[in-house]
Amino acid sequence: MKRALVTGGAGFIGSNLTHALVDDGWTVDVVDDMSNGHLNLLDNLSYRVFLPGMAEIYEAQKQRTSKEVYVHECDFAHPVILDRIARKQYDVVFHQAAVPQVSYSVEQPTKTTDVNLLRSIELLHSCVGNVDKVVVASSSAVYGNTETLPTTEETPRNPRSPYGLQKSALEDFCRLFGELYDLDTVCLRYFNVFGAGQYGDSPYSTAVSAWCDAIKHGRTLRSDGDGSQSRDMCHVDNVVSANILAAKTPNRLMGKGYNICCGERTTNLEILQHLTGAFPTVEVRHAPWRPGDVKHTLGDWSAANRDFGYQPIVKFWDGLEKTLAWWELK
């Protein structure tokens, strides 16, 4: 039975991944400081929450059940977590924790660099010699405002925000750790992930979740710019599948970056027109462009397919219907 640590495992992507890993027979530990996490996203799982160090006391007294998820409520670089890694408690670390908002990274470059890069390097270092593989959440933001569409992994990285730069630098560290310490890592460049479990009540929420939240609570939908920006919208089920496939592949990927996307793009205007058609009472409010945002994204997923068998299993419009259903809007 494989053993996994999911950082940010009570967050949007991490919770979906945790559910899938348990269903797939893994023994799973979650670490989440709950700054963006929600325990209710782990509902329908058997889980137990521990403050730092308490899991060790519990383990000394009681045998763990096969499907019991341990949730460590602390920072992913807490000494207790790093010690568990050093004691070879995990086969794979899925590093999903981050401060993910581009606009927030523009406002807070120091704070976000601390989490997204410095603490992440500390986590990587603890994994050297102690785990089989680290699967790292990266981002299409590493490409910046590229005009090369569809974007392949050969496209030069040119991040236009602190967040994109942090992810790009973390990829470089992953490759370096492979060369220096023989640590096998893989970096998954997510393209605009959406789906169940993504809340929309923050100024930094992604567009689909923010619009669903607004519809749910009778507010206007904010449209940044003229709505012509387009995104390769990737449903969370695709991202979860990519993580598990990358973890299971016998190939040593050694810090390579891979696009995790759908290979199709949709404009904000198209999505808004669909939503206002489905919910005729909804109003749209236009706002300025957000600093640091790129104009268009469109990825090529063929390299991930070649090296570990990834392919998108949920297309955008089907994923949108699933997301609306999670919001109880269908």
Give the model confidence (pLDDT) of 97-119 as tens digits: 999 888 889 999 999 999 999 99
Q: What is the pLDDT of residues 200-244, one digit of tens each?
A: 987 667 899 999 999 999 999 999 999 999 999 999 999 999 999
In the chain, domain spans? 3-198+233-263+294-315
Model pTM?
0.95
**What span, in angstroms and rounded, lies between the C-alpha atoms of 306 and 175?**
20
Confidence of residue 293 (pLDDT cuts 50, 70, 90): confident
**Can you give the pLDDT at residue 203?**
66
Structure tokens at 41: 């996203």
**What span, in angstroms and rounded, lies between the C-alpha atoms of 125 and 122?**
5
- For residue 329, count CB atoms less than 10 angstroms from its CB and return exposed for 0-12, middle for 13-18, buried for 19 or more: middle
Strand bridging mode 284-287 / 68-72 = unpaired
Number of C-alpha atoms within 13 angstroms, CB side, residue 319?
A: 27
131 has pLDDT over 90: yes
Residue appearing with tokens 């490409």:
143
Q: Please, are residues 162 and 141 in contact by the beta-carbon 8 Å criterion?
A: no
CATH for 3-198+233-263+294-315 is 3.40.50.720
CA distances to 154, 174, 249, 294, 317 from 158, in Å: 12, 18, 29, 11, 30
Preceding peptide of 156 cis, ω within 30°? no
